[in-house]
């Protein structure tokens, strides 16, 4: 009996980790790891990342052989509130390996509390926010064109009161001519010391040009989303497909470019011209909403697969979906890395081989031979998605069933 007691205690001590991901290939740009590693989790944090951590040290040992183990994906442009096509984050994020979504302007300074109560506070997915410069957020013309209710002081005050959750400002869909909305957003960004994400049209009747926007109005660290459409920003010439000098110059001065796929903003011709000339996104994001998840399936692994089809190496696609977005919103190393001691937000991905249709926002497809797929997701130390049952024991060996043999 005494011996049994000792044995049980020793075994419990040996099983010092709650979850052990074994045999996977870790890509963690923040720690310069792109190699086979085991990842051990204790409670809600990553306890150890090392080669060959003994299986006996894990209470739950998950075979990750043949898979990529990366920081939980960060979707920098998502719609969880306010916008008419918003989706509850847990419905689409965790099954895609996405552990953090950044809501892009659903709420403004008047509605942020409601957003926090109804979505941020109840989702299992980590939800961060870019606060809309429009007081009532992304709720249509009455709000998004109402310059009188774009108040930098009040917007900055709400950001200061919610530093951990609000990570920047969004300006979007401004339908009037001129720069009022963007300039007020930038002013709020200056007051609160956060970046601005920009999404507005450059049609002639708007009186806005890409050149002026990127070189004169946006600051280094501000982000232009929807970079591969041709209406919100123009990075390749319509006449010869060349990357425009001012786009290169904007990038040189520190303006950031975000994919922001969505239902109208990732177009194969623009993306192909741009990437052939080396103009890739700083950050990969989905702009996910109700129609784009159904028609384009443009979740994070899908968007990453598209960039890989266009020549981006896997490790870069991972970096631009984890470390870089975290850095751009001031959240590195809190998220976006598998560093020891950090929150255990982890995506396990498979790189499938076959023939896959990858559709752009206007429904045009290419056939790719590789596609990333989320297999397993850990959020805050908990296994929350496991498409292949890798974290589950075989039922015959589990011994939990008492009624049937």
Q: Which residues bind Zn ion (CB under 5 A)?
A: 104, 287
Q: Which residue is nearest to Zn ion (CB)?
A: 287
> Pseudo-torsion of CA 93, 97, 100, 105, nearest 10°?
-40
Rounded to a whole number of angstroms, the minimum distance from the CB of residue 223 to Zn ion is 12
Whichever of 328 and 377 has its CB closer to Zn ion, that residue is 328
Rounded to a whole number of angstroms, the minimum distance from the CB of residue 32 to Zn ion is 32
Question: Can you tell me the distance from the alpha carbon of 31 to that of 323, in angstroms, rounded to the nearest whole number?
Answer: 10
Question: Residue 235 has what DSSP assignment?
Answer: -
98 beta partners? 73
Whichever of 71 and 89 has its CB closer to Zn ion, that residue is 89
Opening angle at CA 286, ends 284 and 288, nearest 5: 165
Whichever of 292 and 377 has its CB closer to Zn ion, that residue is 292
Using alpha carbons, select from 76, 137, 145, 65 the residue that is nearest to residue 303: 76
Rounded to a whole number of angstroms, the minimum distance from the CB of residue 221 to Zn ion is 19
CA–centroid distance for 178 within its chain: 31
Using alpha carbons, select from 375, 280, 274 the residue that is nearest to residue 324: 280
3-state class of 349 per DSSP?
strand
Whichever of 144 and 287 has its CB closer to Zn ion, that residue is 287
Rounded to a whole number of angstroms, the minimum distance from the CB of residue 170 to Zn ion is 8
8 A C-beta contact, residue 100 and residue 379:
no
Rounded to a whole number of angstroms, the minimum distance from the CB of residue 72 to Zn ion is 21
8 A C-beta contact, residue 73 and residue 102:
no
Rounded to a whole number of angstroms, the minimum distance from the CB of residue 173 to Zn ion is 9
Whichever of 208 and 342 has its CB closer to Zn ion, that residue is 208
Question: Can you tell me the distance from the alpha carbon of 223 to that of 189, in angstroms, rounded to the nearest whole number?
Answer: 12
Question: Can you tell me the distance from the alpha carbon of 103 to that of 76, in angstroms, rounded to the nearest whole number?
Answer: 8
Rounded to a whole number of angstroms, the minimum distance from the CB of residue 233 to Zn ion is 14
Whichever of 18 and 287 has its CB closer to Zn ion, that residue is 287
Whichever of 282 and 287 has its CB closer to Zn ion, that residue is 287
Whichever of 222 and 287 has its CB closer to Zn ion, that residue is 287
Question: Can you tell me the distance from the alpha carbon of 249 to that of 376, in angstroms, rounded to the nearest whole number?
Answer: 40
Rounded to a whole number of angstroms, the minimum distance from the CB of residue 187 to Zn ion is 22
The two structure tokens encoding residue 323: 């470390």
Q: What is the rounded radius of gyration, in angstroms, for the C-alpha atoms of the chain?
A: 23
Question: Can you tell me the distance from the alpha carbon of 154 to that of 187, in angstroms, rounded to the nearest whole number?
Answer: 11
8 A C-beta contact, residue 296 and residue 302:
yes
Rounded to a whole number of angstroms, the minimum distance from the CB of residue 377 to Zn ion is 23
Whichever of 104 and 158 has its CB closer to Zn ion, that residue is 104
């Amino acid at each position: 009996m005494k011996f049994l007691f000792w044995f049980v205690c020793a075994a419990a001590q040996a099983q010092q980790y709650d979850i052990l991901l074994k045999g996977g290939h870790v890509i963690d740009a923040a720690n310069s790891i792109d190699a086979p590693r085991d990842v051990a989790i204790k409670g809600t944090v990553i306890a150890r990342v090392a080669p060959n951590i003994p299986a006996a040290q894990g209470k739950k040992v998950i075979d990750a052989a043949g898979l990529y183990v990366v920081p939980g994906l960060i979707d920098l442009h998502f719609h969880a509130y306010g916008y008419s096509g918003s989706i509850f984050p847990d419905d689409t994020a965790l099954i895609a390996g996405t552990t953090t979504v950044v809501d892009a302007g659903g709420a403004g300074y008047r509605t942020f509390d409601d957003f926090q109560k109804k979505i941020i506070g109840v989702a299992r997915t980590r939800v961060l926010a870019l606060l809309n410069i429009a007081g009532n957020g992304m709720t249509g013309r009455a709000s998004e064109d109402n310059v009188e209710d774009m108040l930098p002081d009040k917007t900055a005050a709400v950001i200061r009161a919610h530093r951990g959750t609000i990570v920047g400002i969004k300006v979007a869909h401004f339908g009037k001519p001129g720069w009022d909305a963007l300039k007020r957003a930038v002013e709020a960004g200056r007051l609160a010391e956060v970046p601005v994400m920009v999404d507005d049209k450059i049609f002639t009747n708007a009186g806005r040009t890409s050149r002026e926007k990127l070189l004169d109005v946006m600051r280094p660290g501000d982000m232009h989303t929807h970079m591969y459409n041709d209406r919100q920003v123009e990075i390749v010439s319509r006449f010869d497909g060349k990357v425009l000098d001012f786009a290169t110059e904007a990038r040189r001065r520190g303006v950031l470019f975000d994919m922001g796929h969505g239902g109208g903003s990732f177009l194969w011709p623009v993306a192909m011209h741009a990437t052939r000339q080396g103009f890739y996104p700083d950050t990969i994001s989905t702009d996910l909403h109700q129609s784009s998840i159904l028609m384009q399936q443009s979740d994070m692994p899908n968007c990453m697969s598209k960039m890989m089809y266009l020549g981006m190496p896997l490790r870069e696609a991972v970096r631009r979906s984890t470390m870089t977005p975290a850095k751009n919103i001031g959240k590195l190393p809190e998220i976006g890395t598998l560093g020891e001691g950090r929150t255990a937000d982890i995506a396990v991905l498979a790189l499938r081989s076959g023939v896959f249709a990858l559709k752009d926002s206007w429904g045009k497809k290419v056939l790719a031979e590789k596609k990333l797929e989320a297999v397993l997701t850990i959020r805050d130390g908990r296994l929350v998605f496991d498409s292949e049952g890798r974290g589950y024991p075989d039922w015959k060996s589990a011994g939990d069933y008492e009624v049937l043999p």
